[in-house]
Structure 1
Amino acid sequence: MSDKPLKVLLVEDNPGDARLIRELLAETRGAPFHLEHADRLSLGLERLAAAAVDVILLDLSLPDAQGLDTFVRTQARAPGVPIVVLTGADDDMLALEAVQSGAQDYLVKGTVDTNLLVRSLRHAVEREELTKRLHVVNELMRAAVSGLDIAGIFDRVSEQVRKLIDFDRLSIAVRPPDEDYVEVYAVAAEGRPLFDKGYRWPLHETAMGEVVLTGRPILRKNCPEESVYPHEFAVAKQHGIRSVMFVPLKSKGRVIGTVNLDSCQPARYSEQELKTAQEIANHLAVIVEHALLYEESKELATLQERSRLAHELHDALAQSFIGIILELDMAERMMRTDVGSARREVERARQMAHEGLEEARRSVLALRPAVLEKMSLYEAVTSEVEVLAGDGLTVNASVSGNPVPVTDEVATTLCRVAREAVANIRKHAKATRVDALLDYGDEALALTIADDGVGFDTYAEPSAGAGGFGLTSMHERAHAVGGEVQVESAAGGGTRVTVRIPFAGAPARRLEPQPGLGAQREGPPPIRVLLADDHAVVRQGICRALDEAPDIVVVAEAADGIEALAKTRALRPDVLVTDVRMPGLGGIDLVATL
């Protein structure tokens, strides 16, 4: 939080309570408080209409307003201002209602000291700021979903940035690989921008170049006097720029460009706003990297296959943001109850974006998974499975037989199957333990991943083709290298997935079912949901959201309406969640057919 005074509006009709609050705030150390007092709600609302405040201390029992209505009317007048309610000792239930309705905190009169009051006010402001940032990040991702052409979405991006930091001009500059310049990539300005898209700044002897080379942001509070480089000084003097921030765009530790904000007001930006700008830039970097990758894929589309891949990549990248948005929505739901968990969800969403970017880049270049570039097959499979340890599961990975070299195609297939199995466990299984075995047999290489989760009804699953839980890609990958996948499960008794790939020249043998999938779980059966959507990332995000409910299990997924119809008739789920538009058979026609 910045060191500037916090503007506090106290709405309290009791003179003694108001005097005590004023005295307590006067005793505080560090950043001071500027307190204004109103003894009626009507006067408080008039004050809110006149000028902004940072936080409101609100008594819920006033001469002209009583109970929860006092909070509702105040929040409606100042929706973006955090409110801390004041109650009597016998009004705890009312205070809790106010918190559930959006108040940041409540204080009981007669129990408040300086430390408690100051901590409550500062935390209320901090939580409100974090909530605003989460909303902005969420909207940035939503803007990205609308298209991968950065020029087409930059107006929406700049609108969200302005909610946290005011500016006269906002621009993004990107350094092309191995070039000695940075190029203006996108611009938003009130009036004509200083430089159009495509304008190039030298990498050396410019502020943007310095940020790219050092990775450190630059804050100028008094331009042009503080301007260091001749070109920067001339531009600031010519266009009346008084304050400016240059912030690095960092992606996976690499500076790919800068975010630049300027204002015609001197001392417009503080160190705190510089930190906020860097936080925004960290999220914008992912959007810019995806847009650059999409442009790269279009440039590669000189052959028919590359052209097809460019279209698929566009859809995949755009849809990947939907899964990220679901993560951010979850973070917003956590914000008022668990700020730490909400921050972790935001970081998880950003990590998902970086991982999706890396896999998309490797798809464009037709490369095998990155993990196989630096690990053995067993180490790579283990790293995929051990992701579950971060979710609190017990993970045991082992290898048997004599390891022999395998082709890139086989190694890639096993890693992809392991990743898909892990994703299914995280989305559906509600497991506590996972065992993985990579077995180098005499005739084949086999990977088995078993969990002790809720399982599903195997008798209702088709014996060939795609089973439930999004297994279509597993079967297709295994078949492409001459292998097969077997799925064994029992309701309440866990699931075992085995992929077997014969060595060259070895006969193909069908996998035989194995006993012992785990002990049956007790308790009422969960609500069984079948999820139908033609975008895998959307299904992943929805499954993760449903996984928060202990009494709900997704028994199967379908990638189109025809598959959903067959699985619904076979599995008879309690609930069908379907997209309206899907290939072959849309959601409305699907429901009508059922």
Structure 2
Amino acid sequence: MRTSVLLVEDSDDDAALIARVLSRFVRIQFDLTRATSVAAAREDLRDHRYDAILVDLGLPDSDGLASFTEIYSLASGAAVIVLTGDDREELGLRAVELGAQEYVVKTERAYQLLPLTIAHSCERQRHHVEIEELTSALANAVDAIATLDASGSCIAVNPAFQAVLNYAPNEVESTPVLDLVHEADRSRAGAALACRGMEELEVRMVRKDGRIVPVQLSVVARARGRGHFCFVRDLTRQKLVEGKLASAAAITAVGSLATGLAHEINNPLAVVLANVEEASRVTADLESTISDSAKADFIELRAMLDEALSASQRVQFIVRDLRAFACADDRRGRVDINAVIEACCNIAFAEIRHRSRLVKDLKAVVPALGSEAKLAQVFLNLLVNAAHAMPEGDVERNEIRITTKQQGRAAIVIEVADTGSGIASSNVGQVFDPFFTTKPRRPGMGLAICQATVTAHGGEISIRPRDGGGTVVHVVLPTLEAELAENPLGAQTEGAAHQRRVLVVDDDPLVLRSLTRVLARDFEVASARNGREALDLVRAGGTFDAMLCDLMMPELSGIELHELLERDDPELAKRTVFLTGGAFTGRAQTFLEAVGQPHLEKPVDLKTVRELLMELSHTPHSKHASAKWLGT
């Protein structure tokens, strides 16, 4: 074992004696370096590191504790041992208080023990450095950490603890950690604290502001029964992701089930509908031939056929609506809010029918811009929540009322009101928090996801008690007209000189940016990264005088986009210039020959591109797509 030592000693006799003592010690090989002054030691320590430093307190350029203080500041983690000819104990103790590992009074007996003194001091210094490093790591850890005494009370916490639970360190000192755990989880957390080893569990903790935080709690027993260390990891983000994944998985499963049901049900249902309709037609023709004595039975038969037809059509609508709701496609387009709510009412009616009357007052007339599937999930969740707020069996006394109305032409207001158990005023501010729930065995994610979806659509959602008991959920969504007013792509300015509008579509971001930049000198340019985005722009009301479109793209190619535009916006389909990378499939070659529209190979001549687009856009687009998609 080798130990490097710097001796700061001006006495040649003492230095020689120390060197002789250290060289005779067998178990440790000491590599000794000497400096005769503080200045010499300072110079040496700039370039070298040592395991231990022996400092005489009486040096030519410094004296007393001042010598130690300067050397200690340069020690870089070395164990510093004070050598002194002054046998005053107070001086040695003061040096230890300032950071010395040991002080040695210069006597023959002390010199004989010096090798062991150095070894023990180095070991203590290593432990001291490790403790400092560990303390720093714990203080700066991302996870919240609390040190508990034997009674389970906090005696120290790191800064992350404040970040997770919003308590300052002095606010939780002497506080039992179980007081910070949600009351429903305290018994499990208490059982973990009773263990002597390590326990790990998921619990809910309560922040200072009352918010509930899901955490992973790891409890490690301290030595000799002195208490525990608690490591607290915030799982909020993880649980949000898990909730969204679970929701997506459930929707996917419902979608698969709905698709299978549609396949299995629609074929026999078509036969039932056809036969019932035909039976209704035949009985109508036979009505004049029925005798008076059989009239009553015949009328009853007609009523039965009408009921069978109505019920069969209801099955058809439910399967259709279920498939629409379960669709994972969250692309945005024109959404008829009333139709979405009707579909959700059909799906939720099985939960509602035994609990409450359902009243619909749907007066919204302007469509929204959004994801029909995502909004359907919001309204279905609100309807099911309203139904579960009321017990079964008292249908006449209970009511769920869902209304839609216009707030000018810019917004749609949707309200879902119920006469159920209501919500405590103290909980109103928490209902949209993730994991907040008053229902046992429910994750508490439904309203949080609703809020996230509505916010992503540029809307607002709030909840309030209903006069007379129950709850009202208030949702405001912007209309398609409001979206187009904010984005003038889809609306022309009255009386303004027409500027030619061009849509550039390419999946290569560098090509897309460069073409957009160059063409912006002569056109009002919109860009899309693939055919799907381009189609969404058109369907959202965008009107373009010409389009420059890559032919081969991974998501909705130029060929497929053209085919859809021939139906949705045939004039824009005729005003398209295609770009190719030079590689042609048989289908692409056939397509270009069939449509007879200009196409250019990359890299393109920008002058040619400008000329083609100028020629195709020389007259404004004659039909605004916005009018079609707004339904006006």
**What TM-score comes out, normalization by structure 1 length?**
0.27
Compare CA radii of gyration and give the structure with the larger one.
2
Q: Which has the bigger relative contact order, CA under 8 A and spacing at least 6?
A: 1
